[in-house]
Amino acid sequence: MGLECPIAFFGLTVHPTNVITSCMLSENPLAKVNEKDGLNNQNFQDLRQAMLDGNWTKHNCESCMVQEQKGLYSDRKKWLEKAKRPMKIHNVGFELENNPILHLNINLNNVCNFKCRMCGPKYSNAWIPDAKYLKSKDKLIVRNWEDSEAKQFVDYFKILEQYGDRMKLQTVWVTGGEPFIDNQIFGILHQLKNYSKASSMNINITTNGSKINLEKIKQLHEFGEVCINISVDATGSLFSYMRSAGVFNFEQLCKNIIALKNLNMDNLKIQINGSHQVYNSLNIFDFYKTFTKDIPVDDIQMRSLSHPEHLSSCILPKAIKPLAIEQVEKILADPFINVHARIRPDLNNVIKNLKFEPLDKDILWKRFIKFTKLLDDRRQHYIQDEVPEVWENM
């Protein structure tokens, strides 16, 4: 086996700019949505051949490449485990072309009411004014973006027209923007029932949790599993600092999660989806305590943020890293918090990332300082009020 990733062979990942990428972690366009048989084009065949040969293609797979170079359990490896059963069911292997589509990842648009610090205007149009401001100060601290890219909308009818006949969907992931900003997502999911059996599809909808429509969610009872995957990284006012920029607070989020729990749908799963980074590295114990003891959910996923690099927790100063590791070890030692199978491997990854020392750490830390100070001044919400330990090292 080389460096195969099932998503590149059996997935269809649609970016909000109406292009098809290798996976949700890549922004590199390999085909256009309206390109005839784009999943079989030369770009995809070259990528798959490179994987079979054991070669990384950095522009497509940088996130997993960096994770594995750090010794982390990458998303690619996680997907290899997940794909074993559906590949066996459909009796398929890693072919260069004409693979069935078992996984659909659709980014509906970039319309969002949040402007999370680790995000950018390609995934949130609310970020555009801040991006223009930061770009005027330093192009390196804005994620890859051109001023011409404003609101983006995916033509999902074109996707179904092009690829519906090849769909044998096992998993459908929906992201944005914010998928619940309007009701479009529900129409798309019901359309998919024309191409794959509803009870065979497990749906995962990544949301910021601010626009939950309980009545519409109830209508998804036909699907195998419906996971409401809520993106949150911290508790209290740090949540607003990192994610919502003041338009929605942590108390409101908790109320929405409780309302979801009270639906009592047999096929509903509530998952918290966080990213460990500089800002929340000292809040992580309280975060896990909240969602295992105070408002227990079905699962918690914690990724070690790799991009943007200047927010990755591996660049933390040596004075703070032991405090961050202590937070993680405290979670792992508490049997009333360490309650999900995913927690230990996720947090082992976090510890490995914290112990990693990048060669360009000093450059990235200076970029972090500039990014944070500029954004704090613009948003009038300051890191010294949220994470004073980090502020003291800036």
Give 274-301 pLDDT, tens digit per residue: 999 999 999 999 999 999 999 999 999 9
Q: What is the pLDDT of residue 150?
A: 64
Q: What is the pLDDT of residue 18?
A: 83
Q: Which residues of the chain have pLDDT under 50?
A: none
97-129 per-position pLDDT tens digit: 999 999 999 888 889 999 999 998 888 999 999
DSSP 301-369: EEEE--SSGGGBGGGS-TTTHHHHHHHHHHHHH-TTT--STTHHHHHHHHHHHHH---TTHHHHHHHHH
* Cα 370 from Cα 387, distance rounded (Å): 16
Match domain 6-303 to its CATH number in 1.10.540, 3.20.20, 3.30.43, 3.30.70: 3.20.20
Task: List the helix and strand counts (H, then E) for the chain.
Answer: 16, 9
Nearest CA to 238 out of 284, 206, 204 is that of 284
Domain ranges, ordered by start, for the chain: 6-303
Question: How far lies 76's CA from each of 110, 139, 378, in Å?
Answer: 25, 30, 37
Q: What is the pLDDT of residue 151?
A: 65
User: 177: cis peptide before it, omega within 30°?
Assistant: yes
Q: Residue 366's beta-bridge partner residues?
A: none
Query: Is the Cβ–Cβ distance between 4 and 53 less than 8 Å?
Result: no
* Cα 296 from Cα 280, distance rounded (Å): 20
* Cα 127 from Cα 378, distance rounded (Å): 12
Report the residue count for the chain: 394
Q: Give the other-Cβ count within 10 Å of 318's Cβ.
A: 9
331-350 per-position pLDDT tens digit: 999 999 999 999 999 999 99
Q: What is the pLDDT of residue 27?
A: 84
